Amino acid sequence: MNKLLCALAACTALTSPAFAEMLELEKDELTFGFIKLTDMAPLAVAYEQGFFDDEGLFVTLEAQANWKVLLDGVIDGTLDGAHMLAGQPLAATIGYGTEAHIITPFSMDLNGNGITLSNDVWEMIKPELPVDADGKIIHPISASYLKPVIENYQAKGKPFNMGMVFPVSTHNYELRYWLAAGGINPGYYSPENVTGQINAEAFLSVTPPPQMPATLEAGTIDGYCVGEPWNQQAVFKGIGVPVITDYELWKNNPEKVFGINASFAEENPNTTLAVVKALIRAAQWLDENDNANRAEAVEILSRPDYVGADPEVIAASMTGTFEYEKGDKRDVPDFNVFFRHNATYPFYSDAIWYLTQMRRWGQIAEAKPDSWYDEVAKSVYKPEIYLEAAKLLVEEGLVQEADFPWDSDGYKAPTPAADIIDGIGYDGKAPNAYLDSLPIGLKAEQRVIGSEIEG
């Protein structure tokens, strides 16, 4: 019997994280913030599957009213970290809006957003859209089909309004990218005018994610860009039609990040590693065995404490499909990616893409050399912390060594033109050349002065 018990104990020690050497934590009681979106899933899963517990962390997860409240909480220490828009740590660090040094040691996901139009606007463009041999609308749908609609609005003296979730959100930049790729100017920012509507043909404004469907239904906006489940909610409520996913806009584009104050990471290095370890395990759980755990994830996310939407609505995109016009459900297996394709690695090139979009639309008012983009990316994105956490997990036998880009210089290979809707490739090592290649947007030494583009 003693031999049997010893054998069982030895086996358990090899398979259970409880027997891994625990990091000496500087702080073990933590509060993390999130917004009610499906891509907060790694936080919910790390909590519900006990991955935080395995690291000796006692975590509280708190939904936040909006992205500004969330950012302020991380800056003032009310929150120890948060599910963040990728643009938030970058904008804060360069002093656009609230200034603070926020870092990200973990990227939370790829893809996950969509652009939805009101039923009225959809009915205006639908007859013009090309269809395949089966009569199904061909995707991706170009924003160029909106041009006659916007001209019609202008003739009537009406603005064409669209919603996005925050000025430095992926959604703002993706919506702008889609519009500009279709020849529609989404407007510029300047230091004196932060509306982002200078010279705009389509007027973008902020609406918190859960309020998007109701705002669309009220007629305040004509469309929006948001994460799930709020595009699928429009389909289920019959109030709008998603026309494109960000996977179609830019294949496997970076989305949210986990953000913490730089001072927190400096004062609590082991705690930071422990958090990243738990989040890596959660991301792996979400994607493993061809998304076999997604149904359980949907049940978790549907709870009021997390996203709080109907399971059917969350499952519509979370389980590998996406519904466009009601009844037009298509397979999009990579709509939500949490671990594969190195989704959790904080690549400098991802950070630089966000910075190029800030510059493109005037949030960064003056031209910067390529070296500046590299320096800012390295001050915010911290792959060295991520890889240290991954190394510990490999040693514990909880992840596979082959799943991590150990030899990366922090830059992805350039994104080929075929993977982006406008057919313009992206190389994070050449941000200014990339900006110059985009037909709409600031280039070289150009600046927004009043309502004019000068330079």
Domain of 142? Answer: 113-250
Q: Is 375 a domain residue?
A: yes
At residue 159, the pLDDT reads 97
At residue 20, the pLDDT reads 58
Task: Find how far residue 132's CA is from the centre of its chain.
Answer: 31
Partner residues linked to 447 by β-bridges: 454
- Taking the C-alpha atoms of residue 175 and residue 186, their distance in angstroms, rounded to an integer, is 8
239 and 311 assigned to the same domain: no
At residue 5, the pLDDT reads 39
CA atoms 185, 186, 190, 193: torsion sign: positive
- Taking the C-alpha atoms of residue 154 and residue 149, their distance in angstroms, rounded to an integer, is 9
| Below-50 pLDDT ranges, the chain | 1-18
Q: Is 346 a domain residue?
A: yes
128 and 240 assigned to the same domain: yes
Q: Is 83 a domain residue?
A: yes
Q: Is 284 a domain residue?
A: yes
Number of domains making up the chain: 2
- Identify the domain boundary among 219, 250, 281: 250
Give the tens place of pLDDT for each residue, 190-238. 999 999 999 999 999 999 999 999 999 999 999 999 999 999 999 999 9
46 and 93 assigned to the same domain: yes
60 and 169 assigned to the same domain: no
At residue 22, the pLDDT reads 87
- Identify the domain boundary among 231, 250, 269: 250
Structure tokens at 257: 């990040």
58-63 and 29-34 beta bridge pairing: parallel
80 and 130 assigned to the same domain: no
At residue 220, the pLDDT reads 97
- Taking the C-alpha atoms of residue 233 and residue 356, their distance in angstroms, rounded to an integer, is 31
CA atoms 28, 29, 30, 36: torsion sign: positive
Q: Is 42 a domain residue?
A: yes
127 and 246 assigned to the same domain: yes
246 and 270 assigned to the same domain: no
266 and 398 assigned to the same domain: yes
Cα angle 147, 152, 156 (rounded to 5 degrees) comes to: 145
Q: Is 430 a domain residue?
A: no
Q: Is 137 a domain residue?
A: yes
- Taking the C-alpha atoms of residue 284 and residue 337, their distance in angstroms, rounded to an integer, is 10
Give the tens place of pLDDT for each residue, 75-93. 999 999 999 999 999 999 9
61 and 139 assigned to the same domain: no
CA atoms 194, 196, 200, 206: torsion sign: negative
Partner residues linked to 259 by β-bridges: 82
231 and 259 assigned to the same domain: no
- Taking the C-alpha atoms of residue 432 and residue 424, their distance in angstroms, rounded to an integer, is 14
At residue 76, the pLDDT reads 97
53 and 67 assigned to the same domain: yes
- Taking the C-alpha atoms of residue 320 and residue 410, their distance in angstroms, rounded to an integer, is 29
CB 88 within 8 A of CB 256: no
Q: Is 428 a domain residue?
A: no
47 and 137 assigned to the same domain: no
- Identify the domain boundary among 221, 250, 279: 250
CATH code of the domain in which 125 resides? 3.40.190.10
